[in-house]
Chains A and B, each alone.
Chain A
């Protein structure tokens, strides 16, 4: 090509609406970012509200004092050798009150002050000291260092959840008690410790002695029942529907019903459970077995749907390969297809279990909303569940129950987050690409 042949005219620029297209794209990005921001904002508000109210529930105020196990108070008539009942009914809180009054220098004839002293500590000391004395009768007459719970009001005040600056008549804790609290705190008798009771204690009408123990055990039993029942039933149903049946009117009907079942409101499952398991089969109310069965019914569709889509995601070439060298249908499914679907099935199962763990409404109907003070030994014993415990505590009036409610929500959220992380890890770890 010679120099003169080079064409210098620039090609005509057409208006093909580029500017509008880029503007539309920018607009759409802005919508997306706005939507995500709004979502994140509300999630942040929710988490902040729960955590700011609830983190203090993991700490509990306790008192450590030298307590004189005065035989004159425990057993004034000295009859404990032939009447052990006296050790059960003794006035143990009086021991603590006297010890505390002595420590604070309250004279033994100032009844008003003594009354206030006895409101500094939890009345759970009665049971605590009784068990201590029953276990070690030789303590009577001696002095022993004991750590016991402060009362809920002192606990709230010590955590600065009560406005101590306001008028004395408008709060449940007096100026004198506040002054004592500061003195005890200064010499280390009053201190904060990790609240193991939140996880081990059972139902109580005193906030400081109520815990999630029964709810944790109940939820654990129910999760085990759901896992043991819904996983094999769900996987078997899904394998049959996906691998063995031919598409016909019957399988269409089954499919529609499974999808409907997945969207049935949970309260309906509760009524169903009440009618079938409690009234018809006569299983005991309020028990984890009934709760577990109801939650199994709710989780089944989730697991069936997840398993079916996991099976469908296994490439048909794997089935052809196995069938092509003479594997039977069942060998193809169990040697090749199902193992490849396992990560998807596990993910679906964990998500189903997480749903079941957070389910409340059906459990209310089968009576798991109950005041259960004793640990359930078997799934046939009355129990509660984590979300139900949250519901019950949320209905309590006392200030100290507010932080316990939020604390229980944190515990539930931690379990749910752990389960969801587990499902994500499984998916990442075992994901295959063909």
Chain B
């Protein structure tokens, strides 16, 4: 990897167990700052599981256990001294299916800043919400109906609302778990543009099933297979001259 890049998150020997079953077999992966890193691989390869290790969402799954080390700015996020609530305010997440709260658009975005005490006043909060919706490319569509239910938006708008909600907390890293898999091609294109814009201010890790999407939005790609990291490199390298036969087979559609 380019040595000038700062590494934002770094996983070393990450293993995940569900009950007694080992799902991830020791992953070593660096996630560079202000870049989009795509995690690709066939279903069940462990890419989403790895993503969920990065903000400890696996903690909420009964029977899940994570070993190894994941550093966020040189700090081990699995260290007992790390507060998981604080971690998640720094590492935000956008899920596969848009999941706005059944509240107004305004309340959806306001919730994060409110619980973290990020806004000093009502004006402050309004400003955060406007900025977050602007960055998520949703503000102009919803500015006249901020108090309508978030669930009344279309699927693509809902997903952008979820991105705005994640941005409003001002995280450093945004994790996206197949954010476009429930959306149509037009909505997908809008989200992809958005991801490219967001990269300037955030470090983004995205799980995707679409090779084209990985090629379009990411600078780095990591290929997973059966709980192992097969190969990682710049997206260009992975898609033009992969080092591993399995990667070659997967991106050309021979399995997966």
Chain A residues in the interface with B (C-beta under 8 A): 246-247, 315, 317-328, 331, 335-336, 340, 432, 434
| B97 located at the interface, meaning its Cβ lies under 8 Å from any Cβ of chain A in the complex | yes
| B112 A325 Cβ-Cβ under 8 A | yes
Contact of A246 among B62, B101, B151, B166 (CB under 8 A): B62
| B55 located at the interface, meaning its Cβ lies under 8 Å from any Cβ of chain A in the complex | yes
Number of chain B interface residues as a range: 20 to 34
CA distance A72 to B146 in the complex (A): 85
In the complex, number of A-B residue pairs with CB atoms less than 8 Å apart: 66
| B60 A327 Cβ-Cβ under 8 A | no
| B101 A324 Cβ-Cβ under 8 A | no
Closest chain B residue, CB of each to CB of A324:
B93
Known: A324-B55, A325-B92, A327-B115. A319 touches B169 (CB 8 A): no
Known: A317-B97, A336-B101. A323 touches B86 (CB 8 A): no
| B1 → A minimal CB distance (Å) | 28
| B60 A326 Cβ-Cβ under 8 A | no
Which of chain A's residues have a CB closer than 8 A to the CB of B94? 324
CA distance A20 to B165 in the complex (A): 58
25 A-B residue pairs with CB within 8 Å? A317-B95, A317-B99, A318-B99, A320-B57, A320-B60, A320-B93, A320-B99, A321-B95, A321-B162, A322-B101, A323-B57, A323-B60, A324-B55, A324-B92, A324-B93, A325-B88, A325-B93, A325-B169, A326-B87, A326-B88, A326-B92, A326-B112, A327-B115, A328-B85, A340-B102
Q: Across chains A and B, which 8 residue pairs bring their CB atoms closest together, nearest first?
A: A326-B89, A317-B99, A324-B93, A326-B88, A325-B112, A321-B99, A328-B85, A325-B169
| B32 located at the interface, meaning its Cβ lies under 8 Å from any Cβ of chain A in the complex | no
Closest chain B residue, CB of each to CB of A325:
B112
CA distance A209 to B174 in the complex (A): 76
Contact of B165 among A247, A315, A320, A325 (CB under 8 A): A325
Which of chain B's residues have a CB closer than 8 A to the CB of A335? 111, 115
| B97 A326 Cβ-Cβ under 8 A | no
Which of chain B's residues have a CB closer than 8 A to the CB of A315? 99
Chain B residues in the interface with A (C-beta under 8 A): 55, 57, 60, 62, 85-89, 92-95, 97, 99-102, 111-112, 115-116, 151, 162, 165-166, 168-169
CA distance A356 to B6 in the complex (A): 66
Given contacts A321-B99, A324-B94, A326-B87, 8 further A-B contacts (CB under 8 A): A315-B99, A320-B99, A321-B165, A322-B101, A322-B111, A328-B85, A432-B102, A434-B151
CA distance A315 to B112 in the complex (A): 20
Determine which residue in B60, B94, B97 has the highest number of CB atoms from chain A within 10 A of its CB, and name it: B60
CA distance A331 to B97 in the complex (A): 22
CA distance A340 to B101 in the complex (A): 10
Determine which residue in A319, A322, A323 has the highest number of CB atoms from chain B within 10 A of its CB, and name it: A323
| A321 → B minimal CB distance (Å) | 4
| B111 A319 Cβ-Cβ under 8 A | no
| B103 → A minimal CB distance (Å) | 9
CA distance A325 to B165 in the complex (A): 8
Contact of A326 among B85, B100, B101, B102 (CB under 8 A): B85
A-side interface mostly = helix
Closest chain A residue, CB of each to CB of B162:
A321
Closest chain B residue, CB of each to CB of A321:
B99
Closest chain B residue, CB of each to CB of A319:
B60
Which of chain A's residues have a CB closer than 8 A to the CB of B168? 325
| B58 → A minimal CB distance (Å) | 11
Which of chain B's residues have a CB closer than 8 A to the CB of A321? 95, 99-101, 162, 165
| A331 B115 Cβ-Cβ under 8 A | yes
Determine which residue in A325, A340, A434 has the highest number of CB atoms from chain B within 10 A of its CB, and name it: A325
CA distance A323 to B101 in the complex (A): 12
Closest chain A residue, CB of each to CB of B93:
A324
| A85 → B minimal CB distance (Å) | 72
CA distance A246 to B165 in the complex (A): 29
| A320 B95 Cβ-Cβ under 8 A | yes
Which of chain A's residues have a CB closer than 8 A to the CB of B166? 324-325
Contact of B95 among A247, A324, A432, A434 (CB under 8 A): A324
| A318 → B minimal CB distance (Å) | 7
CA distance A322 to B92 in the complex (A): 11
| B88 A324 Cβ-Cβ under 8 A | yes
Which of chain B's residues have a CB closer than 8 A to the CB of A328? 85
Which of chain A's residues have a CB closer than 8 A to the CB of B55? 324
Which of chain B's residues have a CB closer than 8 A to the CB of A320? 57, 60, 93, 95, 99
| B169 A326 Cβ-Cβ under 8 A | yes
| B123 → A minimal CB distance (Å) | 22
CA distance A317 to B150 in the complex (A): 14
Known: A317-B95, A317-B99, A318-B99. A325 touches B62 (CB 8 A): no
| A328 → B minimal CB distance (Å) | 5
| B95 A325 Cβ-Cβ under 8 A | no
CA distance A325 to B162 in the complex (A): 10
Closest chain A residue, CB of each to CB of B109:
A325
| A326 B116 Cβ-Cβ under 8 A | yes
CA distance A328 to B89 in the complex (A): 11
| A319 → B minimal CB distance (Å) | 7
Closest chain B residue, CB of each to CB of A327:
B115
Which of chain B's residues have a CB closer than 8 A to the CB of A331? 115
CA distance A322 to B162 in the complex (A): 11
Closest chain A residue, CB of each to CB of B90:
A326
| B254 → A minimal CB distance (Å) | 34
| B62 A324 Cβ-Cβ under 8 A | no
Which of chain A's residues have a CB closer than 8 A to the CB of B86? 326
Closest chain A residue, CB of each to CB of B98:
A317
CA distance A432 to B150 in the complex (A): 14
| A431 → B minimal CB distance (Å) | 12
Determine which residue in B55, B95, B101 has the highest number of CB atoms from chain A within 10 A of its CB, and name it: B101
| B54 → A minimal CB distance (Å) | 12
